Amino acid sequence: MGQGTSQNKWSPGMEGVRVTVVKAEDGTPVTTPIDLTNKKPTNVQAHFGKASKVSYNRGSSLSPSGSTYEFINPAQALPKIISSQSLGAASIEEIKRYFTDEQVLRSIAGLTGMDFDTMVAGEYKLLIEPVGYYTFQGIFIATTATEAALYDEQLGGQLRSKMVSFYYKNLPLSIFLETPDLGYPAWNGSKTSPASNADIKSSLGIGIVRFNEITTPPEVSAYDYEYWTDTEVITAVEVRGGQSDPDNPVSVTFHVQGSTYTVDQVCYPDGDSQLAWIRWTTPKEPQTMTITVQVHGGGHVNNGTIHVNIVDLNENPPPDPNADDRNDGFTRPAVPKKEETTSANWGVWRPWWQEYWVWHSGDDDDDGYWCDHGWWEFDYDRYSASLTADMSVVPDEKAPTANGKTMKSGYGINETIRTHVSTTQSSAVTPAQNAVTYFPEFQYQGFWRLLDRMSSGYDMRHEFQENRYSTYKRRTHFTPIWYPNGDYTPYTWLIDCWTPTGMLSMNLNDSITIDGNLWSDWHIAPQNPN
């Protein structure tokens, strides 16, 4: 460390940590991250703002910040974070002790704007990430380990080629989990070899401080994937081990319900990995199934047996509301928010031959010859996908007294979801195929409507299925006659836009206004005897 040219170097001790307060239940950040360091890196020329590993893993893009880099020198100096030959090894135990010291925690609470007692009561955790200050291509930069991995992918592997020991070993391996938490695994890989970008993004450069012991065991799922019936999906595995190139290629075979899918020419450089995936359609009936994966060549996969649960979403439509229904104790629920990921990034290693011609001298009977002693180099081709959508709820045209988005309770509503998927690799991305709508009268649980696909492709449109209780077979949902005046807000989870790195999804909602009920549209009077 500290070696290399003046254009690409890291000096031991140029380090810090990024601290974010997150929700204990799901890791959602609740404070703006802060960077702590014992140094004064006022000369940082490039950085990517203040985003946490959780934010990047949930789809935040990496983009340069135009603002001055902000840092804080803590009153109680940080322990050594990043190991080096000149300053010696850092200690995970010392880092743990520092971030569980009460005075340090009180300081962090004040710096992040959190009340100390609230922060340590058990509903929050601290996310800790190592930060490195270094020179790359002559520019002084500040990044976390996760940002360095994302930046290297943007640059096609240039960081790895210039300073592999710092970027891929010392920085990401300075802090890692020994116990799984917030969906991040304990690191059981090498503590001395350079890690891959994929491992850094998923598992390294992260520490988590818990403020009370776990009293409830985590829920364990027996399935690796849960898919819906009759849906086009992407199933992916990570391939690693040795180097795979056109001279020594790796192929991956997936066995799915009697069908075989083979992915050829899965190439990657030594010390890195590559996703291999298939695109297939799930059965029309719910079931469980097992996908087996075989690797041919020198590599291996992270999961050779994939357990899949196929679920039918179309099993819980709401019952027919009755005219004499009542719900005197009803209170409007908050609109829920399920998991949402609206963008994804991945890449494919592309090998190319670096020629290196060497002259071999001959003897008296031979004039000699040129021989190519070249090798395989790799470029990283980056791909992406993003999902956008909008939701519109309007009174059904059979509601005779509706006016704009205002109607009486007891009549029906129509819903339209319009989606758009953008991608730079269409073969690896599916449309947003399913939309599930939940309703406030059921507290957004228990009953739902699976919407029909009204078009195909990346601009797919979804609407309610025909309602079997509708006299005219309308694509409608009937509001309960007892629903109180005010906003009526259906909530929709748009799902099943599959990419090699997982599913894109969105939370959507729209409202109409309830004013009165349908009984006021009826008038009963005695018959005129004349």
**pTM of model > 0.75:** no
With a CB cutoff of 8 Å and minimum separation 6, the contacts of 60 are 51
Distances (CA, A) of 101 to 105, 181, 285: 6, 21, 55
Residue 428 φ/ψ, nearest 5 degrees: -110, 10
Strand order in the sheet with 259-263: 225-228, 305-311, 287-296, 251-256, 259-263
- The CA distance from 462 to 431, in Å, is 12
- The CA distance from 233 to 428, in Å, is 10
DSSP H helix total and E strand total for the chain: 7, 28
**Owner of token pair 């060549």:** 297
End-to-end CA distance of the chain: 106
Report yes or no: 1 and 154 within 8 Å, Cβ to Cβ. Answer: no
Q: Sketch the domain layout of the chain as residue ranges.
A: 15-210, 225-311, 345-381, 383-521
Question: What does R_g of the chain's alpha carbons equal in angstroms?
Answer: 29
Its CATH class, for the domain covering 383-521, is: mainly beta
CATH architecture of 225-311: Sandwich (2.60)
Shared fold status for 225-311 and 383-521: yes
Tens of pLDDT along the chain (530 residues)? 334 457 888 888 899 999 999 999 889 999 999 999 999 999 999 999 999 999 999 989 999 998 999 999 988 889 899 887 777 778 887 888 888 888 889 899 999 998 988 998 889 999 999 999 999 999 999 999 999 999 999 999 888 888 877 877 889 998 999 888 998 998 888 887 888 999 999 999 999 998 854 323 323 334 678 899 999 999 999 998 889 999 989 999 999 999 999 999 999 998 889 999 999 999 999 999 999 999 988 788 877 889 899 999 887 888 888 877 888 889 999 999 999 999 999 999 999 999 999 887 866 666 777 888 899 999 999 999 999 999 999 999 999 999 999 999 999 999 999 999 999 999 999 999 999 999 999 999 989 999 999 999 999 999 999 999 888 899 999 999 999 999 999 999 999 999 999 999 999 999 999 999 988 887 555 666 65
